[in-house]
Amino acid sequence: MTTENEEFDFDFEEEDEIPEDPLELAAAQNELEARCKEANFPVEQRESIPDKEKYLAVGIPCGREHYWIELHSLESFKSLLSI
C-alpha cells in the first residue's frame, strides 16, 4: 500500500547497464538489412512518437500480410540474426 507522499522511480533501465557500442550496433544493423534484402523482407527505419527514438522494423511474411518486428537494441538485432 502506498501513501500520497511516496515517490516512485519509473526509470526501468538497469543501473549497471553497459552502453551499446555504436560500431557494433551499426554492423549488426547492416548485416540484418543485407540478410532481409536477400530474403525479400521489407525493412523500415521508424521513430517512436513519444520520445523520438529511432528503431528498425522488419516485416516477416505472414500470409498476404507482414508481421512487423520492432528492433530497438543490439541485443534484439543479435537475437534475430541468430535465427
Mean pLDDT of successive 10-residue segments in the chain (83 residues)? Answer: 50 63 94 96 93 93 95 94 92
Q: Which long-range contacts (CB under 8 A, 24 or more apart) does 47-56 make?
A: 56/29, 56/32
Residue 49, pLDDT score:
87
Return d(Cα 14, Cα 50) in angstroms, integer.
21
* pLDDT confidence of residue 6: 55
Query: What was the pLDDT predicted at 8?
Result: 47
CA distance 41 to 34: 10
SS3 22: helix
The pTM (predicted TM-score) of the whole model is 0.72
